Chains A and B, each alone.
Chain A
Amino acid sequence: RKEVEQDPGPFNVPEGATVAFNCTYSNSASQSFFWYRQDCRKEPKLLMSVYSSGNEDGRFTAQLNRASQYISLLIRDSKLSDSATYLCVVNMRGSQGNLIFGKGTKLSVKP
């Protein structure tokens, strides 16, 4: 089983749609969780951290389910500018801070 797994997509959705991505991780010792956004041929940028209680930032909601070892990202009212690849990222306890990246889920928002 891969350490961090995501559906690669692409998810093609119309503007205004709500879209959700899931990500599973294999190591129960994982401690910190993030969603990064990466535009084509650009660097990853932190979208949001994921907290145990779930957290929201504008149109974006992140949730963590430790029992099932998955993380989700919900995007409401999709904009054309949301088109990007969304990387699920996990930090393992005792791993010297190394982040484990998923391969990403590609989202394409169409007019």
Chain B
Amino acid sequence: DAMVIQNPRYQVTQFGKPVTLSCSQTLNHNVMYWYQQKSSQAPKLLFHYYDKDFNNEADTPDNFQSRRPNTSFCFLDIRSPGLGDAAMYLCATSRDLGGGGGNQPQHFGDGTRLSIL
């Protein structure tokens, strides 16, 4: 059974038209992450939530926002998508943050592939 679920798998939107990507988890993990991955590149962390605490990466454009209304759901909002935002968007979860010690692998959803017309 899928534990990190992303919807939709494929999203097409128009240049400048707001779009929301969805992620849900059945793992009851504290941390949820959003990554952007372009072809032949490593996943790039956009931001993460530890419970309700939001942590934005310094180089994440203001165009990208996130919401986590409850433990299970997290949304990625792209306010005005540009052509350069076409990518695979990956949601991941981990039980806890790993910086304090111990292995904390992340579990990824299938991703949403975003195309911009």
Report A's interface with B, CB cutoff 8 A: 4, 8, 31-32, 34, 41-46, 49, 87, 91-99, 101-104
Q: Which residues in B have their C-beta under 8 angstroms from that of A45? A: 108
Task: From known contacts A96-B55, A97-B48, infer whether A44 and B96 are also in contact, taking CB-CB under 8 Å.
Answer: no
Name the residue of chain B whose CB is nearest to the CB of A91.
Answer: B98
Q: Tell me the minimal C-beta distance from B76 to chain A in angstroms.
A: 15
Q: Is the interface of B mostly helix, strand, loop or mixed?
A: loop
Q: Tell me the minimal C-beta distance from B10 to chain A in angstroms.
A: 10
Is B73 an interface residue when CB atoms closer than 8 A count as contact?
A: no
Q: Could you tell me the distance between the alpha carbons of A87 and B97 in the complex, rounded to whole angstroms?
A: 20
Q: Could you tell me the distance between the alpha carbons of A44 and B98 in the complex, rounded to whole angstroms?
A: 18
Is B113 an interface residue when CB atoms closer than 8 A count as contact?
A: yes
Q: Could you tell me the distance between the alpha carbons of A32 and B101 in the complex, rounded to whole angstroms?
A: 8
Q: Is A103 within 8 A of B41, CB to CB?
A: yes
Q: Is A96 within 8 A of B111, CB to CB?
A: no
Is B81 an interface residue when CB atoms closer than 8 A count as contact?
A: no
Task: From known contacts A96-B50, A99-B106, infer whether A41 and B99 are also in contact, taking CB-CB under 8 Å.
Answer: no
Report B's interface with A, CB cutoff 8 A: 31, 40-43, 45, 48, 50, 55, 57, 88, 90, 94, 96-99, 101-111, 113
Q: Could you tell me the distance between the alpha carbons of A42 and B37 in the complex, rounded to whole angstroms?
A: 11
Known contacts A43-B109, A95-B98, A97-B96, then 12 further A-B pairs from the complex at CB < 8 Å, ordered by chain A residue: A4-B42, A32-B103, A41-B113, A46-B106, A87-B42, A91-B98, A94-B99, A97-B97, A99-B45, A102-B42, A103-B42, A104-B42
Name the residue of chain B whose CB is nearest to the CB of A4.
Answer: B42
Q: Is B88 within 8 A of A101, CB to CB?
A: no
User: Could you jot down 20 A-B contacts, CB within 8 Å?
Assistant: A31-B99, A41-B113, A43-B108, A44-B43, A44-B108, A46-B105, A92-B99, A94-B99, A95-B99, A96-B48, A96-B99, A97-B31, A97-B48, A97-B50, A97-B94, A97-B97, A98-B57, A101-B42, A101-B43, A102-B42
Q: Tell me the minimal C-beta distance from A82 to chain B in angstroms.
A: 19
Q: Is A31 within 8 A of B98, CB to CB?
A: yes
Q: Which residues in B have their C-beta under 8 angstroms from that of A42? A: 110-111
Q: Which residues in B have their C-beta under 8 angstroms from that of A46? A: 105-107
